[in-house]
Amino acid sequence: MAGSAVAETPLYPTLVEVRNRSARTITCVAQVAHWFSTELGSAAPDGQVRADLRSDPVTGTVFILNDSGDRLPVEAAWCGFAGAAWETRSPLALERRRGEPAADIKVSCDADDGRLRCH
C-alpha cells in the first residue's frame, strides 16, 4: 500500500531526577543494549542529574530517544562516581508496568563505603 505507515504507540514522559548528596561528582548511565550504554548526565556535589526517558504503557518498555528520535529500550540504569560509575554504581529502579506509563524516578545519592547509594 503506497503511502501507508505503521502507527507507533505514543510514548509518555518518564523523568529521572538524581540529587548528588556526596562530596564527589557522579555520573548516571542508561544501558540500552548488552554492551552499550549512554550517559544520562553528571552532577557535581549538591548538583542534580535530570534526564527525560519515555515509556510505552502497552508493553511497559522504557526508552531513551537518540538524536534521530529512534527508540532505544533501556535495560538498566545506574549512577556511580565519575570515572568509575560501573564499579561504584547504585541501580535506579525502572518500574515497568503494562497498562500504565512508567513512574518518574526521583532519588538522592550518598557515598556509602566507597560506593554510591541512591534511595
Measured distance CA(87)–CA(80) in Å, rounded:
7
Strand partners, 118: 109
Give the integer Cα–Cα distance in Å for 31 and 39.
Answer: 9
At 6-40, the pLDDT tens digits run: 567 889 999 999 999 999 999 999 999 878 999 99
Q: Which residue blocks in the chain are alpha helix, DSSP H? A: none
pLDDT on residue 35: 80
pTM strictly above 0.85: yes
Percent of the chain with pLDDT over 70: 94
Q: How wide is the angle at C-alpha 75 spanned by C-alphas 58 and 54, nearest 5°?
A: 45
Distance between CA atoms of residues 19 and 50, nearest Å: 9
Structural domains of the chain in order of their starting residue, each with its CATH number: 12-94 (2.60.40)
